Each structure stands twice: as C-alpha cells, then as structure tokens.
Amino acid sequence: MEESLSMEKIVSSDDCALTLKSGDLEVLSTPTVLAWMEEVSADLVRRFLKPDESTVGVHVELDHIAPAFVGDKVEVKSVLKERGTKKFVFDATAAKFDGKMLAKAKHVRVVVNRKQFAK
C-alpha cells in the first residue's frame, strides 16, 4: 500500500505570482505550488527518519496546468512512490476542491544528517 499525505491550503495574496514577482497576475504562483508540494512530501517522509536526519529536495519536474485565485481552497497531496535508504521519490498534486487539477510533479528528496549538513 502506498503511503500518502494531504494538506489543505487557501490561496492568499502572499501566494500569488504578482507578490512573488514570478509573474504579473494575481494567481497562485508556481514557486508557491512547489513549496507546498515540498512541504507535504517532507512531512510524509519524516516518519521514516531517525532523529538526527532530515531530507532536502534535490529534483523536481513540475507541470503547472491551471490557475487558482485568492480565496481558492487547494488540496496538496504527496504519494510516496519509491523508498530507499537515502532517497525518496514522490508524485505530488495540487487540485481545487472541485477536483480541477492545478499542478502535478515528480519530486525527489534525499536523507541528510542534520549536523553534518549544517556545516
């Protein structure tokens, strides 16, 4: 059985392309979608880590296929597709609660030692 985790987000003006300067429209920005996908993936994998470990994102392939606007509710979901000793691969999605797909991504995270990585 695949491990998965979902979270609900509500688009605010702080999440928009205009605010982040990744575009000039008041729509959900691609950088925000990616950050949300990384957040839910990092939360999902945390249960497999030792206390002195964390993960960092090392690869993403993202398609941002539809807009969302301020006030829209978005479900961000991550599904763990591959689990290694040091590498985790996820399929992540962002969709409006009416089912309309906003974005999909393949995301890879690797395990790091907290103390060694911080040096």
Q: Contact, 76 vs 91, CB < 8 A?
A: no
Q: Write out the residue range of the structural domain in which residue 102 sits.
A: 4-117
Q: Tokens 């961000």, residue?
A: 76
Number of domains in the chain: 1
Count of Cβ atoms closer than 10 Å to residue 62 Cβ: 16
> Residue 60: which of 84, 30, 20, 18 has the closest Cα?
30
pTM, 2 dp: 0.94
**How do residues 76-114 score in pLDDT, each as one tens digit?**
999 999 999 899 999 999 999 999 999 999 999 999 999
**How do residues 2-16 score in pLDDT, each as one tens digit?**
899 999 999 999 999
CATH of the domain at 21: 3.10.129.10
Q: For residue 26, with 0-12 CB atoms within 10 Å meaning exposed, 13-18 middle and 19 or more buried, which class applies? A: middle
